[in-house]
Each structure stands twice: as C-alpha cells, then as structure tokens.
Structure 1
Amino acid sequence: MKRGCFILLTLILLCPLRSFGQAARLYTSDNGLPSSQINKIHQDDKGVIWLGTEGGLIRFDGLDFETFRHDRTKENALSSSSVNEIYQDSYGTK
C-alpha cells in the first residue's frame, strides 16, 4: 500500500514538469499580426514562418512581421493579395 501511494505521488509530482519545455505566444491583430484570418502556414528551411492571408503574404522571423501585398505599380509584387497556397521550390524560393 505504501509503495502504491509513493508511486502515485511521484507521478503526480513529475507530470507538471513536462509542461515547462516550451513557451507559447499568441499573436493577434492587437499585438502585431497583420491579419487574423490565416489561409495557409508554411515554415521554410531557415525557420521563417510564412502565412497566406486574404490581406497578403506575411513573413514572420520570430520577431517581426513583414507583409507582401498586390501592388500594380511594382513589377515583382503579388498578382493578388489573397494568398491561399504557399509552395517552396528545391532552391528555397517561395
């Protein structure tokens, strides 16, 4: 009986230790996320997070957000600000 109580107490005390491994942050439009509706998420080989949204393509490097949108005055801009898919080729190009 004492052994069973000891094992149970040990398990109860050790279980919370698993929760200290990762810190989580919630990003919203209130604290920096440019758009709250995400259509697609991709993480590239360098660890950068790319988010496809109705408002454009968002690049997140862990610190800052950068948004790429359709701009007909720029030759290399997105053809549309609505991004539903993200692909990366073998050269690392998105």
Structure 2
Amino acid sequence: MSTALDRQIRPIYDALDTGSNKSAILACNKLLKKHPKNALVQSLKALALVRSQKVEEALALCDEVLESKPIDDSTLNAMMHVLRGLGRRKPICTLLYLYY
C-alpha cells in the first residue's frame, strides 16, 4: 500500500518521463515545502534541473543530497541520473560504495 507521500511523488515521475521538467520542478517545490529534507524529492528536483540546463542549482541540490548519504533505491537511482548528467563520475562510485 502506498503512502500519501508516494502518491504525491508519482506526478513528479510522470512529468520527468514526459519531459515536463518545469512541471516536475514546480511539483518538487510544492512537496519540499512540506518535506524540506526529503532526499528523494530533492534528487528528483535536481534531475529536472539538470534536464533544464540549470546546472548550478542542480549542483547545489546534488551536494545537499549527497551529504545526507542516501541509501534507499529510489533516491540512489535518481542521484545516479543526476550525477551522470552533471558528468560527476566519482560521486557515483561513492554512492555505490556506501550502498553496498
């Protein structure tokens, strides 16, 4: 059974899947007001920012998520896409090392 937060995150994934990065960013901002330290929402926002060519914002958010040392699959998966999009290979290795 999915939680209320899971149901609120689903439209972000849908927006990212359809290339609606602006919609994804707006949905993330809305959720981050209620859950400011949610690493998954932060990483999804960073992904939308990378895809929107907003590299500086994405880097700042990416660093914040990495500092929290996420270990859940969804956050790690999103962060891998973010880091790949930013061309940051070393943090990908670090994430995988922490996870395994």
TM-score, normalising length: structure 1? 0.22
* Higher relative contact order structure (alpha carbons within 8 Å, sequence separation ≥ 6): 2
Higher helix proportion, which one?
Answer: 2
Instruction: Give the TM-score taking structure 2 as reference length.
Output: 0.21
Higher relative strand content: 1
